[in-house]
Chain A
């Protein structure tokens, strides 16, 4: 990977200005939806925007204190998307009589709080590398949780939720981050072994089995669990994460070709054997067929989403003036269609642009940091987010079959919010390591014994008595 030195400038004020703009967009969207629906602007509107603003400014403050050199664009982008999401969910609540916006707000506070805890206590992302296998075990446990009877919940044929008593939680979202940490840790330590040791057959070098075994086991566990849970979206995400990390670590295109071949074979088998997947594909291919449109689990949702996007046109109907609520799951799976209808092509393009900028900033952190673990972690997380956006937005716009994944930061759903904010915290830590100035000063004694008597400016080979001691 190319390595680039960033100028060491904190740029926290840039972040503050952009953050205020982001909060302004959230507030504006919220108030416009009230005007569009001819409703009184109640205290609820101000409270929801106010709570988001307080959390965002607190986040900014913690960055000033703990990670001064972290990337200044990631936080404003995430806050913009989160604020727009809350505004849209609240607007849809008023049609359906639900209170999803309050839950979303609560989860936003929890998620940003968790991200702040990560930023405050972790300090350096490299500490995660010491517990590589612990993260694999934790990810495995989290993935198995929904299969435990009594704890797991089945919604719409997928068993990926657990019942927390107060609400449901999707452990797979957090497991995704832990697997990314494991892959990054394992690959950064064993990259050379995988690349160089092994049998050579023709032009391709096959890695030894024992070097690949932990990865293959991690992959089989996650895939097996997802097959049992019938969660197609997460399966795509985990597979993509796995392929991307291997490619990033080894830069061998053969892995990608192998991976795509496996996707093709696995996909064909899944379409023909798992009814759930077969229905999704036929709803994608024959969406406008009346029979497919009318059957349960058919293409009603996608087609209504497309009609919504079409009625939005270039500039949209305006917030609160469309009918995005006709679509099933308008505030979670289909929130992209809701925005497309009410903000139009111009607004949806802006949202996709913001997601793209977020991914490029995460990739930039990966390019800038000096350690392999940080590079792999940030790039892997960035790729996962990009893939997730593609799967969701591609599904809604009928580029690919629709699968149940959430639009990062926008869709209603606490676990996804929590996971994405933790991803933000981790990437901010990596970007802090990438952008902070290289410390040039007296050497730090790495192990602690006999510390502090060596000055860097002295020739290191000279015997100890000539160096002035105890100055630091």
Chain B
């Protein structure tokens, strides 16, 4: 084979290597943009103030906790809610005092709130404070955790009054 052809093939190999890299980078597209959603959030959160009381009806695109009526996003920092009330399920009527510490919800005996329910996973969800709000994180449960009617796909902030459903139990944060 002529020297020129070999040189061309050599450059060709390097070219194909970079073509592979470029096609990987271009085809993953917006998949890598982790920060974008976070940046959009403050603007999206301001919008629901115009149409209150629609949060529990339909699962909306933004975090359910932020679509609560009132749109208190721009208000002065509120105090961290202090109580968790069970409104439905076997433990209905019970009120748990939160001391600003994370709470694990589940069927396992080591959970902070033991929910004796076949539809609840051992370690179902975790409720934890950050700043002046409580955040709910699903711990990979079998049946999922629902906040304001839509299923948790990531950690969301939960406001007082928004129902949290875990199996047959419904919980509400109280100020």
Which residues on A are within 8 Å of B, measured CB to CB?
Answer: 2-6, 14, 17-18, 21-22, 24-25, 28-29, 32, 35-36, 73, 76-77, 80, 126, 189, 192, 196, 315-316, 318-319, 343-344, 346-347, 350-351, 353-354, 357, 360, 364, 367, 370-374, 433, 438, 440, 443-451, 454, 460-461
CA distance A77 to B23 in the complex (A): 12
**CB contact under 8 A between A21 and B19, given known A28-B13, A444-B142, A446-B120:** yes
Name which of B24-32, B43-51, B64-72, B73-81 contacts chain A: B24-32
Which residues of the partner chain B approach A25 to less than 8 Å between Cβ atoms? 13, 16-17, 20
Q: Nearest Cβ distance between residue B35 and chain A, in whole angstroms?
A: 8
B side interface size, CB within 8 A: 55
Residue from B14, B137, B167 whose CB has the most chain A CB atoms within 10 Å: B14
A438 in contact with B28 (CB, 8 Å):
no
**Pick from A4, A318, A373, A454: contact of B119, CB under 8 Å:** A454
Chain A, Cβ-Cβ closest to B122: A446
**CB contact under 8 A between A461 and B16, given known A3-B154, A14-B27, A438-B144:** no
**CB contact under 8 A between A315 and B14, given known A196-B101, A370-B140, A438-B144:** yes
**Pick from A3, A343, A446: contact of B155, CB under 8 Å:** A3
**Pick from A196, A374, A450: contact of B140, CB under 8 Å:** A374
Which residues of the partner chain B approach A80 to less than 8 Å between Cβ atoms? 17, 20
Which residues of the partner chain B approach A445 to less than 8 Å between Cβ atoms? 118-119
**CB contact under 8 A between A6 and B14, given known A196-B101, A438-B151, A444-B142:** no
**CB contact under 8 A between A443 and B119, given known A35-B9, A461-B88:** yes
Which residues of the partner chain B approach A6 to less than 8 Å between Cβ atoms? 31
Which residues of the partner chain A approach B139 to less than 8 Å between Cβ atoms? 371-372
Q: Nearest Cβ distance between residue A186 and chain B, in whole angstroms?
A: 14
B143 in contact with A443 (CB, 8 Å):
yes
CA distance A6 to B153 in the complex (A): 10
CA distance A374 to B140 in the complex (A): 9
A460 in contact with B168 (CB, 8 Å):
yes
**CB contact under 8 A between A21 and B16, given known A370-B140, A449-B118:** yes
6 contacts between A and B (CB under 8 A): A21-B23, A353-B21, A372-B139, A374-B140, A447-B107, A461-B168
Which residues of the partner chain A approach B25 to less than 8 Å between Cβ atoms? 357
Which residues of the partner chain A approach B170 to less than 8 Å between Cβ atoms? 461
Which residues of the partner chain B approach A374 to less than 8 Å between Cβ atoms? 140
CA distance A21 to B9 in the complex (A): 16
Q: Nearest Cβ distance between residue B151 and chain A, in whole angstroms?
A: 6
B58 within 8 A of A: no
CA distance A17 to B23 in the complex (A): 10
Which residues of the partner chain A approach B17 to less than 8 Å between Cβ atoms? 25, 80, 343, 347, 350-351
Q: Nearest Cβ distance between residue B40 and chain A, in whole angstroms?
A: 12
**CB contact under 8 A between A76 and B20, given known A4-B34, A28-B12, A370-B153:** yes
B88 in contact with A450 (CB, 8 Å):
no
A-contact bits for B105-141, CB 8 A (1 contact / 0 none) = 0010000000000111101001010000000011110
Q: Nearest Cβ distance between residue B163 and chain A, in whole angstroms?
A: 12
CA distance A433 to B102 in the complex (A): 25
**CB contact under 8 A between A370 and B24, given known A5-B153, A460-B88:** no
Residue from B28, B142, B167, B170 whose CB has the most chain A CB atoms within 10 Å: B28
A446 in contact with B34 (CB, 8 Å):
no
Chain B, Cβ-Cβ closest to A353: B21
Which residues of the partner chain B approach A461 to less than 8 Å between Cβ atoms? 88-89, 168, 170
Q: Nearest Cβ distance between residue A448 and chain B, in whole angstroms?
A: 8
Chain B, Cβ-Cβ closest to A375: B140
Residue from B38, B107, B154 whose CB has the most chain A CB atoms within 10 Å: B154
Chain A, Cβ-Cβ closest to B87: A461
Chain B, Cβ-Cβ closest to A451: B118
**Pick from A18, A126, A448, A451: contact of B23, CB under 8 Å:** A18
CA distance A343 to B11 in the complex (A): 9
Chain B, Cβ-Cβ closest to A192: B102
CA distance A450 to B167 in the complex (A): 14
CA distance A406 to B6 in the complex (A): 31
B158 within 8 A of A: no
Q: Nearest Cβ distance between residue A193 and chain B, in whole angstroms?
A: 10
Q: Nearest Cβ distance between residue A423 and chain B, in whole angstroms?
A: 19
Q: Nearest Cβ distance between residue A395 and chain B, in whole angstroms?
A: 23
Which residues of the partner chain A approach B28 to less than 8 Å between Cβ atoms? 73
Which residues of the partner chain A approach B138 to less than 8 Å between Cβ atoms? 370-371
Q: Nearest Cβ distance between residue B123 and chain A, in whole angstroms?
A: 8
**CB contact under 8 A between A350 and B155, given known A443-B119, A444-B142, A446-B120:** no
